[in-house]
Structure 1
């Protein structure tokens, strides 16, 4: 049995509004959410369609409304893999019939994990960064952590595309473009927009309003960003 710490990239995620879900939904409905969480989120390389990392290297721990993904920092492409997991996981919870919002943080640090036992400074730091700095529905990471990434150049570029800089200097995992494109096919984009608007129309709680106003601002940016990116792609193709 390994009795030592392991240096990992750790994503600590908090499902917002989970306490109300427990009050309002049945046990079966809650379990469906966790079935969604336990789905494998393994992103493949475009060139050979192989996973960025061995799926066995990615670990998940579910603690009620807290989710922890972690992977050894010594594995090539481990941070791009973790970022993509968080991006797709966030997207899929947004697209549920009753959308679920996530607040979280990603750090690099030491962790010990053995079945039900989990502790370490890395886990503590991930929790504190989420609790003190994420504040709104976003998954944040510092530039310092991004710069520790060991990755092949295509995967590093792929990862950085998911990490724009936010208003307060943190970088955040951006799933909004995927939501706009994929959600247009099944109505989940409009569903999330309506969920955000209905919440803002009905609540006076300042904390809740701040969270949903942030989400609304990001959603409003998406159509312009996607059109701009499509225009750039077309221009690049025409110049080739």
Structure 2
């Protein structure tokens, strides 16, 4: 037996993401004899997100070859070495693209997209419409083909379970300072807006912020698709008090972004989801409106 060189954990930025409704997604695939299509849809959507984030990263920074990413049943695991603040911003962008690609996976073919987003339409993923919740943490991590030894993985899982609650990806409490350095960012405002603070004080990835890089037509198309998906989910789960609050949160977040985005008020009103009245969650919208006015 060949003796392996000892390897230790190294500091990584790690995201642990949980795909909501994955059991139903898998069961429907089996019932419809469509497992191959569903697997392909997941792979294509995540690969698109990874490619888009890679193309938009700042040239010459970060080591993309060190990216570790895998779908394990209902969990998506992503790790990058914590070599610079840029790696943390890469993680924010990558997680945001995954959230957006799973929720609205098939961009309109007739729209003009920015160069970084010009990829073939993802027809195999057009029925995904999945949302995720999770946590981004920093900590010791080691992964190889045959072993995963990762205190960061455990911390990510624990934070996802304890803090995420809604379809949001939170930054580990107490670690926000590690994600709060933007001096060398190409677009300071864009990166600052990639992280919002929720009504309960927790910072989370504002994945719709990616749309601010889109042409107005593509931004509005994607927001409308996002609106339709959330409305369908609310109608589907409206009487399930265990599930419905997750989609009411999404509706509140969607509406907050519509108010925040640089679009005219009438368009923003048409893109909003009406009658969002979950007690407490309107604070997110109030926060976004306040931030926009400053």
TM-score by length of 2: 0.69
Aligned residues: 227
Equivalent residue in structure 2 for 1:155, among 165, 185, 192: 185
Deviation of residue 93 (structure 1)?
Answer: 1.1
Residue 29 of structure 1: aligned partner? 37
Between the aligned partners of 1:85 and 1:70, the Cα distance in structure 2 is: 11
Between the aligned partners of 1:184 and 1:117, the Cα distance in structure 2 is: 46
Structure 1 ranges of 4+ moved more than 4 A:
149-152, 179-184
Q: Is the CA contact 1:105–1:139 (under 8 Å) kept in the aligned structure 2?
A: yes
Between the aligned partners of 1:100 and 1:183, the Cα distance in structure 2 is: 24
Between the aligned partners of 1:16 and 1:68, the Cα distance in structure 2 is: 15
Q: Is the CA contact 2:133–2:166 (under 8 Å) kept in the aligned structure 1?
A: yes
Unaligned regions of 5+ residues in structure 1, if any?
A: 230-240
> Larger deviation: 162-171 or 75-84?
75-84
Residue 112 of structure 1: aligned partner? 142
Q: Is the CA contact 1:10–1:69 (under 8 Å) kept in the aligned structure 2?
A: yes
Deviation of residue 184 (structure 1)?
Answer: 5.1
Deviations 1:75-111 (A, max 9, x none): 4511111111111111111112231101010011111
Alignment map for 1:68-83 (pairs within 5 Å) = 68-83=77-92
Between the aligned partners of 1:144 and 1:73, the Cα distance in structure 2 is: 17
Deviation of residue 187 (structure 1)?
Answer: 3.9
The alignment yields a C-alpha RMSD, in angstroms, of 2.7
Q: Is the CA contact 1:60–1:69 (under 8 Å) kept in the aligned structure 2?
A: yes
Identify if the C-alpha distance between structure 1 residues 77 and 178 changes in structure 2 by more than 3 Å, giving closer, same or farther.
closer
Q: Secondary structure, in 3 states, of the residue corresponding to 1:155? A: coil
